Structure 1
Amino acid sequence: FPSYVAFTKNGERLLGEPARRQAVTNPEGTVTGFKRKMGTDYKYKIYGKEYAPQELSAALLQKIKNDCEAYLGEPVKKAVITVPAYFNDNQRTATKDAGAIAGWDVVRIINEPTSASLAYGIDKTGQEQKILVFDFGGGTLDVTVMDFGSGVFEVKSTSGDTNLGGTDMDSTIVDYVADEFKSENGIDLRNDKMAIQRLREACEKAKIELSTTVTTEINLPYITADASGPKHLTMTFSRAKLEELVTPIVERCREPAEQALGDAKIEPKDIDKIIFVGGPTRMPVVKKFVEDIIGKKVEHGVDPMECVAMGAAIQAGVLAGEVKDLLLLDVIPLSLGVETLGSVSTKLIERNTTIPTKRSQIFSTAADFQTSVTIHVLQGERPMATDNTTLGMFNLVGIPPAPRGLPQIEVTFDIDANGIMNVSAK
């Protein structure tokens, strides 16, 4: 079920595969990749109307809900929705909102790598295992280290990049092919929306084919035309060339992988199992990269494209009381704190803290007879407030006038099992 939403000029809405199929003929009305924009103020402008990312996500979730109900023949009201582990609070809240717009009661937001590990049902020998989940999807990367033993899945650390994925590979391949075509024909296909959409689809298809073969053809007749007549794009594309092009993108996975291992305080040799999630992990270059870092072969047996959804179903079973003897202990991916004097970011909860959790800290005023303070809530690891993500701001008023440093202001962060936070101050 591809994450495509399309609107036709006459107002019809298409979702999933039908939307993808007409992307070539309707590039202006077709949107994909909006998961990366979740939790931002970004608006998609389509035929004079504006759409927020959560509206587009909600359209897909509604389609899934309708398909599900049609298949089961009964209403389905509750959902467990998975998100990249590295999603921040804004992105998680936006995802939950999208579920609500679609008509779901979202009972849990669960991290994709954690969900995938449930699907692999790590063998029931009872012995403790250290698992590395490498989740490399179309738009995002998550690397998670977890312990499993006696029915308890405990996440030790998570790291990632919410702007790194298979679509970056596609863009690199598209640029390479477009440059080759331009040098031969003097025409830049990137200036033609319909041509570039055809090329993007062909490049994505070639990338997938090269996971199982060493050469493939990119063949696009009548891709464009000039005064001399129509032009055709025909090119032999090899796995070696693909790997040369995408190696810088794959190399960007190294830092998150090393950070996840470092935060979990373990060496690569301590990992017992590697689990792959996401389409790009089928590529030999990605497989070799991860196996070289860890020094172990990848675990197979569950489709990397399906394991996240399967794991979410298991978690739904746990929440419904149908699956027993299974406990999931997840963590927050990024530290949480507030801005203090001098634009400094003061952490209240460190990254990789197990959730749910609650933490309070006492602060005071910075000026004499101050009667209000602004609580600026931040997420991220940087020492300065401006370099982190703002989750929100609110004013605490009614502080009795007193010399600075005397009033006691208690700020409390309360994070639920979805990784979504409530902040209060008194």
Structure 2
Amino acid sequence: MAAKHDYAIGIDLGTSNSCVGVVRNGRVEIIADERGSRLTPSFVAFTDEERLIGESAKFQRTMNPANTVYEVKRLIGRKFSDEAVQNKLPHWPYRVVNDRGNPKICVQYLKEEKFFTPEEISAMVLAKMKETAEAFLGCEVRKAVITVPAYFSYSQRQATIDAGTIAGLQILKIINEPTAAAIAYGEDTNVFEEINILIFDFGGRKLDVAVLKMKKGNYALKSVEGISQLGGRDLDSRIVRFMIGDFRKKTGLDISNDLKAQAKMTKAAERIKINLSGNACDRVQLECLSRGQDFSFVLYRGMFESLCADIFEETMKCVDRAIVNAGLTTNEIHEVILVGGSIRIPKLRKMLEKKIPNMEIKRTIRPEEVVAYGAAVQAAMLNNDRSVDRRYIP
């Protein structure tokens, strides 16, 4: 593919989903894949015949769990002995082994046992984002900015750069996700007085809350708090646990150790959670869930909020810590930027609005895309794209 233009892309390499954007003709465009989706699941699945990436890989989770790899962001740049790695090992259906102190992922691929580093798996997702951008732009893409959590260590950042290199990308810069979110709004907002911005990032696998000071496009990170083991998937897990109990009550069957049945429930729970953001209740029907038994289940929004009440409270405690550690009060927060699909949950928005009553919530960019949006702006600037207004870029 011959290069017609020298584009640089911005990639939000997420724990659950990834997203890619580019500045073209002075406008940020978030790029849809071949399915028309602007979010690509950060999943890689291996079968006897092929390797799958994205939505097709995520679909394999129910039928091929041992060879469907996800949440690699929790492994990249860490040692096998790392507490965060050890805590997650029992929860992954795929194998992670110790290779001279480093984690390696073991799968069956093309009828053989294969081992991959976290960087190699992440590179497969990044290559998919690169291909998506190239199909959209009609030319080869060589340069990228990739975002990472603000708390990522040097080794995690370097491992992310290595993944990008394996994917065939020149990494112009690794930037913090909160900074990318602020850039996304700073790029199209005239801000000439110093303001305090709170970034509330509640994604599928993690919670990050950051406070930044911004003036004329200059950003200073004042504090960052996070819970790397708390995210939207934990809300799904609460629903699944409730569903398992309900199924046991109705049929007498315990599916606590049935990975395939639980994978079906997890997929249904995610759909229920999403639907409850717009509806008062939702119903799911799973045919032949286990031992020929069907499962019908209804969940009301109020019950969902009760099931997850402690998780919601924990997110607000994280907000409190971030504001206090920045040396501020809630009255001194001028803007809140919401990031991640889980912030669509009405209960979370109400709790934030109650906690920070005088703030302005930024809503013009889809929360799932705001980090990739900011990364795309930063990539264009570093690539000397003169169509981007320089005063809003740090």
Q: TM-score range by the shorter chain?
A: 0.7 to 0.9
Give the whole-Å Cα distance in 2 for the aligned partners of 1:243 and 1:147.
33
1:303 aligns with 2:366: yes
Q: Deviations over 1:232-289 (max 9, x none)?
A: 1101111111111112122222333222212211100111111100011010122122
Partner amino acid, structure 2, of 1:42: P
Shift of 1:71: 2.2
| 2:90 paired with 1:27 | no
For residues 56 and 147 of structure 2, the distance between their equivalents in structure 1, rounded to whole angstroms, comes to 24
Q: Which amino acid aligns with 2:366?
A: D
Q: Post-superposition shift, 1:49?
A: 2.1
Offset from partner CA, 1:152-205 (integer Å, 9 cap, x none)? 222222221222111111112111111221122221223222211111100000
Q: 1:140-179 to 2 correspondence within 5 Å?
A: 140-179=206-245
Contact 1:86/1:142 (<8 A) preserved: no
Shift of 1:297: 5.4
Residue 313 (structure 1) aligned with residue 341 (structure 2): no
CA gap of 1:92–1:255, structure 2 versus 1, over 3 A, is farther
Q: How many correspondences in the alignment?
A: 323
Residue 208 (1) aligns with residue 274 (2):
yes
Bigger relative contact order, structure 1 or 2, given CA contacts below 8 A and separation 6+?
A: 2
Give the deviation of 1:96 after TM superposition.
1.4
With the length of structure 2 as denominator, give the TM-score of the two structures.
0.78
Match of 2:106 among 45, 67, 76: 45
Q: How many angstroms apart in 2 are the aligned matches of 1:51 and 1:250?
A: 36
Q: Which residue of 2 aligns with 1:127?
A: 193
Q: Secondary structure at the match of 1:252?
A: helix
Q: How many Å apart are 1:28 and its aligned residue? A: 1.9
Q: Gaps (5+ residues) in structure 1?
A: 329-426
- Over the aligned positions, Cα root-mean-square deviation in angstroms equals 1.6
Report the residue type matching 2:105 in the other structure.
Y
Structure 2 residue matching 1:142: 3-state secondary structure? strand
Give the corresponding residue for 1:270.
Answer: 332
Give the alignment's TM-score, normalised by structure 1. Answer: 0.73
Structural mapping, 1:103-118, within 5 Å: 103-118=168-183
Partner residue, 1:65: 130
Q: Is the 8 A contact 2:334 2:360 kept in 1?
A: no
Q: How many Å separate the matches in 2 of 1:237 and 1:313? A: 39
The 3-state SS of whatever aligns with 1:133 is strand
- Structure 2: runs of 5 or more not aligned: 1-39, 79-101
The 3-state SS of whatever aligns with 2:308 is helix
Mean Cα deviation higher: 196-205 or 84-93: 84-93
* Cα deviation, residue 327, structure 1: 4.0
> What letter matches 1:46 in structure 2?
V
Q: Percent identity?
A: 40
The Cα of 1:51 is off from its aligned counterpart by 2.2
Query: Which one has a bigger Cα radius of gyration?
Result: 1
Superposition deviation, residue 128 in structure 1: 2.4
Point out the structure with the larger helix share.
2
